[in-house]
Structures are given as C-alpha cells and as structure tokens.
Amino acid sequence: MRIRKLPRCFIAAVPDRAGRDALSAVQSRLREAWPERDADPGWTLTDDLHLTLRFLGDLPESALEQALGSLSLPPGEPAPTLAITGIELWPALRPRIAVARFESSGQLAAWVATVEAWAVEYGLAPEHRPFVPHVTLLRSPKPLSPVSGMLLPELDLRLEAVQAMHRSPHSRGPRYLAHAEYRLV
C-alpha cells in the first residue's frame, strides 16, 4: 500500500464568513493601490483566507489528521476574536508578501504550543521563529511597494474553525484544501 503525501501541510484557524469578506475588502483596496498586481495569481482567494498556526511540510494525510487531533479542543470551545493591528509587507527588504496582522490571544498561543509539541514529537524540526498571527493576502513574484495613506480597517476577526490543510495548485493561484476540521462555537 502506497502512502500518499500531501504537499505543504499546515494547521490553520479559519475566520468566519464576515471576517473573510472583510479581509477580501482589504485585498480590493490593495488592488487599487497596486493596479499592476490586479491580475496577479498570488492573491489568496476569499474562501481560502486563513491564519496558519504551524507549517508542517509534506506529510501523509493520516499525520495531518493526527496533528489536528493533538489540539484536544474541549467540546464547545469558544471562538476567539482577534483585533487587527496592521497591514504589513514581508520581508522588510524587497517585500513580496502582504499580510493582515492581528494581536494574539492566550487561547491562540496555547493552540500553537500544542501543535508545536505534536510536530516535534512527530519528528519535525522545532519552529524557531516566533508565532506572529497573520493572514496572507498576497504572495507576489515581484517586490511590493509600500502603500501610503491606507487607513487601518475596523476589523475584529472571529475564528470559526481549526483545520488541517494542505496547499494545492490552482489556475487562479494556490488553493487550500481541508482534511479535518474542528468547528468552534
């Protein structure tokens, strides 16, 4: 029996529909600021917007489901709400990624620590970068220029689920497919 590995696996928190729509509106404002990027395939599709808790790499599907199960979320876990802190371009030198950055919460930090413990126990290298809660809006093949005068939107992001996901190529940019999900209330 051949074990199928899934590419670019990760555990993510998924915003509710209102949050995804609000982030899509931010993307529209960025498209206006960068008209040359409007047709860029690197824009994250509205239904695929997510906050990555831990990147896992290429894993078998069973390991991806194990990773989500490691969270041991109690029944009726309340959904955290995160306040936006800014729109940022990464990295600082020749940025190619636009993100919406959010403040963290104790609950989110606990989820990240639990998935990290599972990943190390599974045999993955420890994550040495600090966790920065963000949603990727665009991955551009060319450097992005700073956007001046863009007001920070009023946005409290409510999370509705935690999913084990992987990246799948798509003609309009990457798509993210869920393999297991824990719904929040």
Domains defined along the chain, listed by start: 5-183 (3.90.1140.10)
The predicted pLDDT at position 46 comes to 94
Residue 78 has pLDDT above 70, yes or no: yes
Catalytic residue chosen out of the listed positions 50, 128, 166, 179: 50
Q: Which of 111, 103, 107 is nearest to 135 (CA)?
A: 103
Please give the structure tokens belonging to residue 96.
């190619």
Please give the structure tokens belonging to residue 126.
């420890």
- Indicate if 134 belongs to the active site: yes
φ and ψ of 89, to 5 deg: -110, 130
Residue 83 has pLDDT above 90, yes or no: yes
- Indicate if 128 belongs to the active site: no
Helix (H) or strand (E) holding 61: helix 61-69
Judge whether 166 and 6 are in contact, CB under 8 Å: yes
Query: What is the value of pTM for the model shown?
Result: 0.90
Residue 35 has pLDDT above 80, yes or no: yes
Catalytic residue chosen out of the listed positions 128, 134, 166, 170: 134
Q: Is 36 helix (H, G, I), strand (E, B) or coil?
A: helix
Mean pLDDT of 149-153: 73
Judge whether 172 and 45 are in contact, CB under 8 Å: yes
Please give the structure tokens belonging to residue 14.
């998924």
The predicted pLDDT at position 132 comes to 96
The predicted pLDDT at position 75 comes to 60
The predicted pLDDT at position 71 comes to 74
Report the half-sphere exposure of 6 (CA within 13 A, side-chain side): 20
Residue 15 has pLDDT above 90, yes or no: yes
Question: Model confidence at 4, in pLDDT bands (50, 70, 90)?
Answer: confident
Judge whether 72 and 118 are in contact, CB under 8 Å: no
